[in-house]
């Protein structure tokens, strides 16, 4: 079994380049299905979720050419079926975007039910609501979701909850629908805006992305395009947290500082020095972190995908902090792992009360999901002694070259198999 092994205590220093945003890439790749031409996508992160999606498109008939590590050319013109039932779909939540994209292209779709991180119930009722307003009926049988319509027509979609997935799926279905679609109570995440920019670069007419009302005028054709994906907000936040946890001095290159504002504000509240430049950010920390309270919310609130990493920082901060999860029902599974490292945390439903301890101590732990795994790395880097992280697949789903990047910042981190053969020392 593969494990990440960290000997903690090294102060991180130097600079690291942030990759393209996973959650933008996993929306943009299915959106390519809608195009009538070749799409060249730059700044694509080389991570498992993205590669699985690219493979699915390839299996569906798209021609895929890798130009270099972060650039792909995808020609979707040979995709001629609205049916997608591949093993990879059941591994990842983002595969549900195939529903919106195939529906938008063929006015019908049949896609295997998506998988993804386990944060409790992950309904798609709001996605189906969007499709239904546009004229698509749905049914579920044999693990497949089926959507049928007699041609999509624009409509007024009011989302009952702010959902990134439902906003994106409705956008995908609406860009080529006849007439105007309005999405109210839309998600405002940077990746929603990036998808809108990508669609517009193909000739779509999407306005208002980044606000809670998105207006889409359907168009008949979408052209091929060249598009550069935004930097990953959460990868950046994770390296910021790691710099703070190790009392380091790290410069992150290729970031959009505006996307990091809520994370920057919390780190500053904790006594971390954050300097913002045009497309980079420097994070320096000395001495003990201050306690603070954090509540996760849809953008521009503090991102739920940074909740585990910030909780690690608070577990070694002065005093008692309260972390409230405002998006998911069950996103504290990793706390049991953190407790193995000596953290003092009690969880009641969606609230974690964290009493800062002097230091975490290395231990064998599991990556219970993607960001939980990232948090275990941050914890391991700051801990005394050795941390062994299992189930590293979760981490590879969303972090490009994570071991190499941390090692380049001075971390003592490597990958081993359980027989302790070192397979990679970056
Ligand atoms: C996206 O998931 C992200 N995934 C998640 O990031 C992120 O945690 C989440 O948004 C919130 O920011 C991708 O972009 C691929 P939602 P998504 O629909 O779209 C409820 C990571 O670590 N809801 O915004 O699945 C839902 O239960 C991942 O990178 C409904 O009730 O999240 C949740 O409480 C993990 N009905 C809330 O809305 C629906 O139909 C927000 O979910 C849909 C959602």
pLDDT digit string (tens) for 312-352?
999 999 999 999 999 999 999 999 999 999 999 999 999 99
The yes-or-no verdict on residue 423 having pLDDT over 60 is no
CA 314 to chain centre: 22
The yes-or-no verdict on residue 274 having pLDDT over 90 is yes
The pLDDT, as a whole number, for residue 425 is: 45
Rounded distance from Cα 332 to ligand 1 centre (Å): 16
The pLDDT, as a whole number, for residue 117 is: 60
Sign of CA dihedral 155, 159, 162, 163: negative
Each residue of 323-339: b (16+ CB within 10 Å) or e?
bebebbeebbbbbebbb
Catalytic residues: 117
Nearest-CA residue for ligand 1 atom 42 is: 163
Cα(372)–Cα(377) distance, integer angstroms: 9
130 lines ligand 1 (CB under 6 A): no
Q: Which DSSP state fits 291?
A: P
Q: Which helix (H) or strand (E) holds 68?
A: strand 63-68
26 lines ligand 1 (CB under 6 A): yes
Domains of the chain from N-terminus onward:
2-18+231-417 (3.65.10.10), 22-228 (3.65.10.10)
Q: What is the radius of gyration, based on Cα positions, of the chain? A: 21
Q: Which of helix, strand or coil describes residue 80?
A: coil
94 lines ligand 1 (CB under 6 A): yes
305 lines ligand 1 (CB under 6 A): yes
Reported pTM: 0.96
Nearest-CA residue for ligand 1 atom 14 is: 23
pLDDT band at 95 (very low <50, low <70, confident <90, very high): confident
pLDDT band at 116 (very low <50, low <70, confident <90, very high): low
Which ligand 1 atom lies nearest to the CA of residue 234?
Answer: 29
Cα(84)–Cα(99) distance, integer angstroms: 9
CB atoms within 10 A of CB 226: 12
CB atoms within 10 A of CB 401: 18
pLDDT band at 84 (very low <50, low <70, confident <90, very high): confident
How much is the mean pLDDT over the chain? 95
23 lines ligand 1 (CB under 6 A): yes
Nearest-CA residue for ligand 1 atom 8 is: 305
CB 58 within 8 A of CB 268: no
The yes-or-no verdict on residue 418 having pLDDT over 90 is no
160 lines ligand 1 (CB under 6 A): no
Please give the torsion angle defined by the CA atoms of residues 8, 14, 19 and 22, in that order, rounded to the nearest 10 degrees: 30
Q: What is the 3-state secondary structure (H, E, C) of 181-243?
A: EEEECCCCCHHHHHHHHHHHHCCCEEECECECEEEEECCCCCCCEEEECCECHHHHHHHHHHH
- The 10s digit of each residue's pLDDT in 40-55 is 999 999 999 999 999 9
CB atoms within 10 A of CB 391: 18
The pLDDT, as a whole number, for residue 119 is: 58
Rounded distance from Cα 11 to ligand 1 centre (Å): 34
Nearest-CA residue for ligand 1 atom 43 is: 124
Rounded distance from Cα 163 to ligand 1 centre (Å): 6
Least confident of 117-121, 182-186, 276-280, 373-377: 117-121
């Amino acid at each position: 079994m593969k494990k990440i092994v960290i000997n903690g205590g090294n102060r991180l220093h130097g600079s690291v380049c942030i990759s393209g945003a996973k959650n933008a890439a996993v929306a943009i790749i299915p959106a390519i299905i809608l195009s009538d031409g070749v799409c060249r996508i730059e700044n694509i992160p080389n991570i498992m979720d993205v590669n699985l999606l690219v493979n699915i498109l390839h299996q569906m008939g798209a021609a895929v050419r890798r130009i270099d590590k972060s650039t792909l050319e995808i020609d979707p013109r040979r995709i001629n079926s609205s049916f997608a039932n591949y093993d990879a779909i059941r591994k990842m939540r983002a595969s549900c975007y195939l529903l919106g994209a195939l529906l938008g292209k063929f006015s019908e779709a049949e896609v295997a039910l998506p998988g993804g991180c386990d944060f409790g119930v992950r309904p798609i009722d709001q996605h189906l609501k969007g499709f239904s307003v546009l004229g698509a009926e749905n049914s579920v049988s044999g693990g497949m979701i089926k959507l049928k319509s007699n041609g999509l027509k624009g409509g007024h979609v009011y989302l009952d909850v702010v959902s990134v997935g439902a906003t994106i799926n409705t956008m995908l279905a609406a860009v080529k629908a006849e007439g105007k679609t309005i999405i109210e109570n839309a998600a405002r995440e940077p990746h929603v805006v990036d998808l809108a920019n990508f669609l517009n670069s193909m000739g779509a007419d999407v306005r208002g992305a980044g606000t809670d009302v998105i207006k889409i005028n359907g168009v008949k054709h979408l052209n091929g395009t060249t598009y550069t994906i935004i930097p990953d907000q959460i990868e950046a936040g994770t390296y910021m947290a790691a710099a703070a946890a190790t009392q380091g001095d790290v410069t992150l290159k290729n970031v959009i500082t505006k996307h990091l504002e809520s994370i920057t504000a919390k780190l500053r509240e904790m006594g971390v020095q954050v300097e913002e430049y045009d497309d980079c950010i420097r994070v320096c920390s000395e001495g003990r972190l201050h306690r603070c309270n954090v509540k996760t919310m849809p953008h521009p609130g503090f991102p739920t995908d940074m909740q585990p990493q910030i909780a690690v920082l608070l577990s070694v901060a002065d005093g008692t902090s309260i972390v409230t999860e405002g998006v998911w029902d069950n996103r504290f599974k990793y706390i049991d792992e953190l407790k193995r490292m000596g953290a003092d945390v009690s969880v009641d439903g969606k609230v974690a009360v964290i009493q800062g301890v002097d230091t975490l101590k290395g231990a064998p732990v599991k990556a219970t999901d993607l960001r939980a795994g990232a948090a275990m790395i941050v914890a391991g880097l700051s801990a005394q002694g050795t941390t062994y992280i299992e189930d590293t697949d979760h981490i590879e789903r969303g972090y490009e070259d994570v071991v190499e990047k941390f090692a380049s910042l001075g971390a003592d981190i490597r990958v081993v198999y359980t027989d302790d053969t070192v397979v990679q020392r970056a």
